[in-house]
Amino acid sequence: MKILVKLFATFRDNRFVKQEMEFPDDTTVKEVLAVLAIPDEEVAILMVNGRNEEVDHPLKDGDTLSLFPPVGGG
């Protein structure tokens, strides 16, 4: 299945901004993080299709996964 992975802030360093990636069906967010070499604990905000989810969330074909380190403001 195809997942659109979007990285933000420091996660972009030595990686990419946005990339469509191919994964086996039922891949979880945790498994995607392992492929990207991003430790789980460094992920502060994790969105699947714009909704906050947890690392064990299973992905579906066509999902957009957005990953942020701790950031905030206002």
Nearer to other proteins, 31 or 53 (CB): 53
Q: What is the nearest approach in angstroms of other proteins to the Cβ of residue 26?
A: 22
Q: What is the nearest approach in angstroms of other proteins to the Cβ of residue 8?
A: 5
57 near other proteins, rule: CB under 8 A:
no
Strand order in the sheet with 18-22: 18-22, 2-7, 64-68, 45-48, 51-52
45 near other proteins, rule: CB under 8 A:
yes
Torsion, Cα of 47, 53, 54, 60 (10° steps): -80
